[in-house]
Amino acid sequence: MSKALGDEPIVVSKSDSVATIWLNRAEKRNAMSQEMWTALAQHCHSLTKDHTVRVLVVRGVGGHFCAGADIGGFSGGLSDEYQAQNREAEEALAGFPRPTIAFITGSCVGGGVQIAGACDLRFADSTAKFGITPARLGIAYPTYALERAVRLVGPSAAKHLLFSAELIDAERALRIGLIDELLETDDAQLRLDEFTSLLANERSLLTQTISKEMVNEVAASGGVSPETIERWAPVLAANPDMSEGVAAFAERRTPNFVWTPEESF
């Protein structure tokens, strides 16, 4: 797969309305260089503007998701530029307005957990191993990534990962809420394909977009703001998907939802 994708360390492929961002540095288990953080942000911004993309998948080549940041570049410390690019990449991925899925195999450590945690959902196969490892290097996990990790797994599990820098297997990751689905390796790709097809072709993008924004607000602040409710009200009032959904339910057929972000934003 890596050779087929070429030499760029971050590559995007598209299949119908599903886009995939590939971490394409298999010889380093897809460890993230500064260049890769920059490219990840750029691709997320570009795909946000592409309204033909309804689902975004992030995955790694060569059997591993991401072994973390490339610590070979840390000898001089973490520069302000590196930290800014790291944050921009995480925020660009987290801010992608449509559903995102991290598809995790093998190593998902440090910056890998940061990338996976910025996605809406995390599917992993039984080969996956997870860890948050700044305690091995005597550095602090980025505050924004730490906050996201705590919201995802809770304070106690986050402390355990951060204090110990131990690797945990996929079963434990599922128990603490770090991943959403644990799949057998032979079945994982099929499940990913079926699920992304379901989201992209059989479910309302309007519902998904509204839900993502509002759930994120609840997670961050405890509730949905009146401003968000007010902004979405006219969109819902002119919603073309509701009548189609009701008709498809009555006729026992797959709905043909048509709303796109271009109609509203």
The last residue of one of the domains, among 157, 178, 199, is 199
Counting every residue written for the chain, the total comes to 265
Q: What is the mean predicted confidence (pLDDT) over 88-102?
A: 97
244: confidence class by pLDDT, cuts 50, 70, 90: very high
Euclidean distance between CA atoms 200 and 198, whole angstroms? 6
Regarding whether 143 and 217 lie in a shared domain, the answer is no
264: confidence class by pLDDT, cuts 50, 70, 90: low
Q: Per-residue pLDDT for 199 more than 70?
A: yes
How many domains are contained in the chain? 2
Regarding whether 252 and 157 lie in a shared domain, the answer is no
Q: What is the mean predicted confidence (pLDDT) over 231-247?
A: 94
Euclidean distance between CA atoms 5 and 195, whole angstroms? 23
61: confidence class by pLDDT, cuts 50, 70, 90: very high
The pLDDT score that the predictor gives to residue 68 is 93
Q: How many CB atoms lie within 10 A of CB 234?
A: 10
Regarding whether 173 and 193 lie in a shared domain, the answer is yes
The last residue of one of the domains, among 153, 184, 199, is 199
Runs of H (alpha helix) within the chain: 2-5, 34-49, 80-94, 111-117, 143-153, 155-164, 170-176, 185-201, 205-221, 226-237, 241-251
Beta bridge partners of 123: 103, 181
Q: What is the mean predicted confidence (pLDDT) over 196-207?
A: 97
* Encoded tokens for 68: 């973390």
Regarding whether 228 and 160 lie in a shared domain, the answer is no
Regarding whether 191 and 213 lie in a shared domain, the answer is no
